[in-house]
Amino acid sequence: MNPIVVVHGGGAGPISKDRKERVHQGIIRAATVGYGILREGGSAVDAVEGAVVSLEDDPEFNADTSLLSH
């Protein structure tokens, strides 16, 4: 089996040229996390969760994690 990882990172607005590479790297990191979980035998749900957490932890993405602290 060859797993496929798809990560949708943002899309809520235009990305400036200076931010483009940082966003691209964040998406690559998230996909790498998800793929790594699948390669280690993790479930698809675990892979999605890992990728989402990676995006949430990246300041380039608009993940409102402040809601989790209340």
At residue 69, does pLDDT exceed 60? no
Give the chain as a DSSP string: -----------SS---HHHHHHHHHHHHHHHHHHHHHHHTT--HHHHHHHHHHHHHT-TTS---GGGGG-
Q: Is residue 10 very low, low, confident or very high in pLDDT (cuts 50, 70, 90)? A: low
Cα distance between residue 16 and residue 35, in whole Å: 28
- Contact yes or no for 34/7 (Cβ under 8 A): yes
Q: Which of 29-33, 36-40, 57-61, 66-70 has the lowest mean pLDDT?
A: 66-70
At residue 16, does pLDDT exceed 90? no
pTM, 2 dp: 0.74
Cα distance between residue 56 and residue 20, in whole Å: 17
Supply the pLDDT for residue 70: 44
